[in-house]
Amino acid sequence: MATPRDYMFMQQALALAAKGAELGEVPVGALVVLDGEVIGEGFNQPISASDPSAHAEVKALRAAAAHQGNYRLPGATLYVTIEPCTMCFGTLIHARIARLVYGAAEPRAGVVVSQLQLAEKTFFNHKIEVEGGVLAEDAGALVRDFFKKRR
């Protein structure tokens, strides 16, 4: 169940997503929180960084891992405005993220609930608690408005 803290952190992720949109990137924002403290944040940058892996989640996880001096982030929560893709979900597993909170579903490429339901698979050696739909309308509107302007 989403908490008031979840909504507060998702607002921060939405602000990061807006930064990405200003740079012409698909507006997705993410942050990693451990013990109530933001330890990493990011927004989509594959175009500006010329890096296909520079998704918001990966940027946030890299920053958090550097902050902690460890590629594993046990006990941490990742907040992201849009349901993660396959690459990002796999990275969450490898980082041992305890909890994922996302905003809007991503019907085409989202793999938590929309497509592959990877969070429910039993073949992973780590289980992530998932909370979806937090500020989903705001997150979805950011993406819809972004693509509407590009058409």
Q: What residues have CB less than 8 Å from 6, skipping those under 6 apart?
A: 79, 101, 131, 134
Question: Which residue is catalytic, options 22, 25, 37, 57?
Answer: 57
CA angle, corner 60, sides to 143 and 73, nearest 5?
135
Q: Are residues 82 and 55 in contact, defined by beta-carbon separation less than 8 angstroms?
A: no
CA distance 105 to 150: 21
Q: Is 57 a catalytic residue?
A: yes
Catalytically active residues are 57
